Structure 1
Amino acid sequence: MGDLLGVAVLGAGHMGADHIRRLDRVVSGARVVAVADPDTARAQEAAAGIAGLSVHAEAEAALGAPGVDAVLIASPGPAHEEALLAAFARGLPVLCEKPMVPDSAGALRVVEAEARLGTRLAQIGFMRRYDGEYRRLRVLLDSGRLGRPLMLHCTHRNVSSPPDFTSAMLINSSVSHEIDAARWLLGQELTAVTVLRPASSAGAPGGLLDPQFVLFETERGALVDVEVFVNCGFGYQVRCEAVCESGSARIGDEHTMVVTSGGNAREDVAQDYLVRFADAYDREVQAWVDATRRGEVTGPGVWDGYAASVVAEAGVRALESGGRVAVDLAPRPAP
């Protein structure tokens, strides 16, 4: 490996283009050497101005490009399993955006494939673990100062949903972040899920069940509720309140500039996750680059990606059935 980590980025859409920019302009110790996207014109546009890289239509070609030391997967979720297994076959460290693999069977195959290698290669992109507020909340809960956590109250709101967004995607795309955050904050697996469906908002596209109220149970008796509302119309908001035996702590209140003028006060509200979690993404990718250059893999792993897929699938079944659905995880491979 040279002085700079040579990264192949798979996917040049909204997330992939932002990671290409981040690796080129923000993160130290790495450079983009290859980009793959079926839309090569989009890949060329995302990589414009970066010297010495190659653009490919196929992921496999990018993985085999000269100078590739590691892979960042930001392609659509259904393409992740094949890309992860191809990276494993080449011994390449990977940072894979969530969902690791959308379906739990495929996610388990990835867990088993990495276990057969006998070493970790993949970090999964649950970036909230790198957000400053989430990290402070985790430290506080771990300290025990507030006693045992009893409940997490979570809010996840988007301005609007993409045209192809489905009712199931409120859970397996949006709430997947809360699934991982809850497991990480509490240090517990989620064991059951119930989804309640209020009347859909007038702002929701026809047929979309939006908002939803998702209730998770944990293995040690805590409860986690999530209000997910992906067509709220006014901003991107993510909040979490931990209620413990001896106190509570809340994160996600907008601490942005407040402008007071003419008898009114105005506060900006983020409109996009790339704005709200920009620092978290920067820290996540920098931590991955630093660890990879040391020959290490840190952060959330393939088991975390698998668990999120299993819980999300249970959530979708709960949405469809209107009942409580238990979460059934496979035995975890020995480390």
Structure 2
Amino acid sequence: MSDLLGVAVLGAGRMGADHVRRIGETVGGARVVAVADPDTARAEAAAAGRDGVTVHHEALAALSAPGVDAVLVASPEAAHEEALLAACARGLPVLCEKPLTPDPASALRVVEAEAGLGRRLIQVGFMRRYDAEYAALKSLLDSGTLGRPLLLHCRHRNVASPPHFTSSMLISSSVSHEIDAARWLLRQEITAVTVVRPTPSAHAPRGLLDPQLVLFETSGGAVVDVEVFVNCGFGYEVRCEAVCERGTAQLGDAHAMVVRTAGHAREDVAQDYVTRFADAYDREVRAWVTAARRGRVTGPSAWDGYAAAAVAEAGGTALREGRRAAVEMAGRPAFYG
């Protein structure tokens, strides 16, 4: 391996293109050597102005490009399993944007493939673990200062949903971040899901059940509620309040600038996740690059990706059938500790 980690970026949509920029301009220790996207014009646009980057129509061709030491997967979720298994077969460390795969069965196949290698190669892109506010909340809860966590109150709001969004994707795509954050913050597994469906907003696309209130029960007796509203219209907001035996702690309120002038106060609201979590993405990719250059992978594991998929599947059942749904998970391999 050269001094710089050679990265193949699979997918040149908004997230993939942003990672190409991030690696090229913000994160040290790495360079993009290949970009793949079925839309080669989009891949060429992402790679424009960067020397030594090859462009590919097929993801697997990019993995075999000269100089590839690691892989960043930012393609649509249906393409993740093939890319992850191919990277594992080549011994390449991977940062995979969430979800790991579209469903628990395929996620478990990836887990089993990695466990069979006897070493970690895959990190899942649950970037909230790298956000300064979330990290501070995690440290506070782990310290025990506030006592045992009893409740997490969460909000997840987007300006508008993508055209392809379905009602179940509010859970599998949006709330997947809260699934991982809850497991990580509480150090507990989610054991059951209930979804409450208010009358949809008039601004939601026809047939989309938006907003939703998603309730998680955990193995330690905590309860997590998540308001997910992907067509709120005014901005992107993520908030979380931990209610513990001896106090509470809340994040998300202090992130925006407040301007006071001429007898009025105005608070700017971020319009998307790329803006709100820009620093977290930088920290996440920097940590991945640093670990990969040392032959290691840290951060959220393939098992965390599988767990999120299993909870999301239970959430989809709860949404469709209007009942509490238990989370069904395979036994955790000893490999993951």
TM-score range, shorter chain: over 0.9
SS of 2:106's partner is helix
Partner of 1:196: 196
* TM-score when normalising by structure 1: 0.99
SS of 1:61's partner is helix
CA distance in 1, matches of 2:254, 2:165: 26
Q: How does 1:175-190 map to 2 (within 5 A)?
A: 175-190=175-190
Q: Which amino acid aligns with 1:253?
A: D
CA distance in 1, matches of 2:200, 2:19: 34
SS of 2:140's partner is helix
Partner of 2:208: 208
Report the alpha carbon displacement of residue 187 of structure 1 after superposing the two structures with TM: 0.2
1:265-319, CA deviations, whole angstroms, 9 ceiling, x for partnerless residues?
1111000100000000000000000001111110010100000000000000000
Q: How does 1:141-152 map to 2 (within 5 A)?
A: 141-152=141-152
Whether contact under 8 Å (1:73, 1:95) holds in the other structure is yes
* TM-score when normalising by structure 2: 0.99
Whether contact under 8 Å (1:95, 1:125) holds in the other structure is yes
1:223-245, CA deviations, whole angstroms, 9 ceiling, x for partnerless residues?
00000000000000000000000
Whether contact under 8 Å (2:13, 2:42) holds in the other structure is yes
CA distance in 2, matches of 1:97, 1:260: 38
Whether contact under 8 Å (1:157, 1:230) holds in the other structure is yes
Partner of 1:238: 238
Q: How does 1:109-188 map to 2 (within 5 A)?
A: 109-188=109-188
CA distance in 1, matches of 2:261, 2:7: 48
Q: Which amino acid aligns with 1:324?
A: R
1:104-136, CA deviations, whole angstroms, 9 ceiling, x for partnerless residues?
000000000001101110011000000000000
Report the alpha carbon displacement of residue 257 of structure 1 after superposing the two structures with TM: 2.3
Moved beyond 4 Å, runs of 4+: none
Q: Which amino acid aligns with 2:269?
A: V
Q: Which amino acid aligns with 1:150?
A: L
SS of 1:290's partner is helix
Report the alpha carbon displacement of residue 334 of structure 1 after superposing the two structures with TM: 1.4
Partner of 1:263: 263
Q: How does 1:219-238 map to 2 (within 5 A)?
A: 219-238=219-238
Ranges in structure 2 where 5+ consecutive residues have no aligned partner = none
Whether contact under 8 Å (1:254, 1:269) holds in the other structure is no
Q: Which amino acid aligns with 2:289?
A: V
Report the alpha carbon displacement of residue 328 of structure 1 after superposing the two structures with TM: 1.0
Whether contact under 8 Å (2:38, 2:58) holds in the other structure is yes
Whether contact under 8 Å (2:256, 2:270) holds in the other structure is no
Partner of 1:56: 56
Partner of 2:7: 7
SS of 2:123's partner is strand
Q: Percent identity?
A: 75
Partner of 1:46: 46
Partner of 1:85: 85
1:77-104, CA deviations, whole angstroms, 9 ceiling, x for partnerless residues?
0100000000001110000000001110
SS of 1:49's partner is coil
CA distance in 2, matches of 1:297, 1:42: 29
SS of 1:166's partner is coil
CA RMSD of aligned residues (A): 0.6
1:31-71, CA deviations, whole angstroms, 9 ceiling, x for partnerless residues?
00000000000000011110111000001100000000000
CA distance in 2, matches of 1:238, 1:295: 34
Report the alpha carbon displacement of residue 258 of structure 1 after superposing the two structures with TM: 1.9
1:110-167, CA deviations, whole angstroms, 9 ceiling, x for partnerless residues?
0000011011100110000000000000000000000000000000000000111110
Partner of 1:320: 320
CA distance in 2, matches of 1:29, 1:173: 30
